Amino acid sequence: MIEIKNVTQSYVDGKTVIDNMSLTIDDGVVYGFIGPNGAGKTTTIEMITGVLKIDKGDILIDGHSIITNPIEAKKKFGFVPDSPDAYEKLTGLEYLNFIGDVYKVDKKTRFEKVEKLAKEFGIYDHLKDRIQSYSHGMRQKLIIISVLLYNPKNWILDEPMTGLDPQSSYVLKNLMREHSKNGNTVFFSTHVLEVAEKICDKIAIIDDGKIVFTGTIDEIHQKLKSNDNLEESFLKIIRGDTEDESIN
């Protein structure tokens, strides 16, 4: 479970980026996080993961504060950032072994997972190549595999489908569903609303640093009194084209 409690974040010039945000991401849920460019999605995720300091409020990962108990909090999640940066001078296999060592994954489990996942994501034949030779999509796959290798309870993914081919996107979506069905948490941002509509149990819509909707797709339909797809509903909410004051 991830709990965001009255969190505020501002730029150095005082402009508020995240405005008193509260959100609970429950276990057993694939939770989508959507919003326009610059709405605050990546900033929120970077605060959850401890990349950015929080000005006000707190964030708990399975009850551990990312502010007061960051080491324990960070043990509870795996993070795929929007930029798949890794140690370029290492080979893909060396990088995965490094992650396995950090998280104390035993060698048998490590070997089995690396072989299975690398084949599923189509980079098995490139594991001995240096990461500097990888395309963006291959680096994205490597970072995803590195997180799945130690199988944290909470997955936090920032635009995880970017750069993935259709087969790899399909594999990742199935893994996300399976992880949530096992009682774990998946929280991911995406610009691909069709993906969010198909796999999310719940979504949160952020606009200008504020959460403007949380709930299921059915609850969006109920509030908007329509059966529009998520893209159309999202645009209505962002533009304020609704009579429901609880959304605006």
Q: What is the mean pLDDT of residues 208-219?
A: 89
**For residue 241, what pLDDT is reported?**
63
Residue 10 has pLDDT above 70, yes or no: yes
Residue 246 has pLDDT above 50, yes or no: no
Q: Kindly report the CA angle at 134 between 133 and 136, in degrees rounded to 5?
A: 135
Q: What is the mean pLDDT of residues 121-149?
A: 94
Better-predicted residue by pLDDT, 110 or 11 = 110
pTM of structure: 0.86
Better-predicted residue by pLDDT, 213 or 224 = 213
Buried b (16+ CB within 10 A) or exposed e, 178-205: ebbeeebbbbbbbeebebbbebbebbbb
Give SS3 for 38: coil
pLDDT tens string 47-91: 999 998 999 999 999 999 999 999 999 999 999 988 888 889 999
- Find out whether 106 and 150 touch, Cβ atoms under 8 Å: no
CA distances from 28 to 11, 97, 131 (A): 34, 29, 34
Give SS3 for 236: helix
From the list 60, 143, 55, the residue with the least C-alpha distance to 99 is 143
Domains and CATH numbers, the chain: 1-76+152-248 (3.40.50.300), 85-151 (no CATH)
**For residue 242, what pLDDT is reported?**
58
Mean of the per-residue pLDDT values of the chain = 90
